[in-house]
Structure 1
């Protein structure tokens, strides 16, 4: 006949303590694994933040260029109106775009504004260049047959 083993509360607590205290062969493995994996995790984290900052800088440059085109393409707009409006937008937009340079060129029928600069850097040593260009037609009076 098989007798059931009677387990008391003290034996369970003692066995559990023994297992937790001794730790076995894997004791201390978690901190080592974390030390190995943490640089990769931090690189991914800061890399994704850097990519987001680059996209925000591109968006800021595009909106500044479009703002410059919209100001310069108005009928009989004064020279430099596009650069002035684009620089005002860049000043109001914040520092997503470092060292921005805005240039506008216009002909009798077309306006082109280009914004170049660098996105802010989160990862040391990474300096991503941003360049965005916007085009538009100049508002002008034409005859009915000629565009």
Structure 2
């Protein structure tokens, strides 16, 4: 049904595929070259997104461990001497329960900033997906703490010990 065009009408131009074939196929393989140039960039962006997500999740684990360790440290009596070991053990326990591989080399330290304040700091390294970035960039530190919980008697006494 493709006869000569009607009078006054131009013949339809050849399709794009026919034009490429007719011109010697100069654009043949261009998409492969474009993909080869673009793929490393796409891969780097995907790995960077995964790296940021792992760092963020590791930070959440460190904050949860520091918060739970500080809760144990703050609830110990003011004159108790073993609160440091209990708080550090609780922080390490939380890291082991939530994400031991997300926060590698996690360490918990305790500090008394004022006579009535106790703090726990958790430090570790996030999982490194991109090998070329320095390891210092993925060190995570989280600190939590506050005043020692003191229950005063109803008679108005100030003695917490």
TM-score, normalisation: structure 2: 0.73
Q: Is the aligned partner of 1:96 residue 2:95? A: no
TM superposition shift of 1:37:
0.6
More helix by share: 1
The number of aligned residues is: 138
Q: Tell me whether 1:113 sits opposite 2:120 in the alignment.
A: yes
Q: Deviations over 1:55-103 (max 9, x none)?
A: 0111110110000001111142642221111111011012111111111
Cα deviation 1:27-65 (Å, max 9, x = unaligned)? 110000000011110000000100110101111101100
Match of 1:140 in 2: 150
Displacement, 1:21?
7.9
Please, what TM-score do these two structures have when normalized by structure 1? Answer: 0.80
What RMSD in Å do the two structures reach over aligned CA positions? 2.9
Q: Is the 8 A contact 1:98 1:119 kept in 2?
A: yes
Question: Which residues of 2 match residues 20-39 of structure 1 at below 5 A?
Answer: 22=21, 24-39=25-40
Q: Distance in 2 between matches of 1:115 and 1:87?
A: 9
Alignment map for 1:67-86 (pairs within 5 Å) = 67-76=68-77, 78-79=82-83, 80-86=85-91
Structure 2 unpaired stretches of 5+:
7-13
Specify the SS of the correspondent of 1:123.
Answer: coil
Match runs of 1:55-70 below 5 Å: 55-70=56-71
Shift of 1:20: 8.3
Q: Is the contact between residue 108 and residue 138 of structure 1 (CA under 8 Å) also seen in structure 2?
A: no
Structure 1 unaligned segments of length 5 or more: list them. 7-14
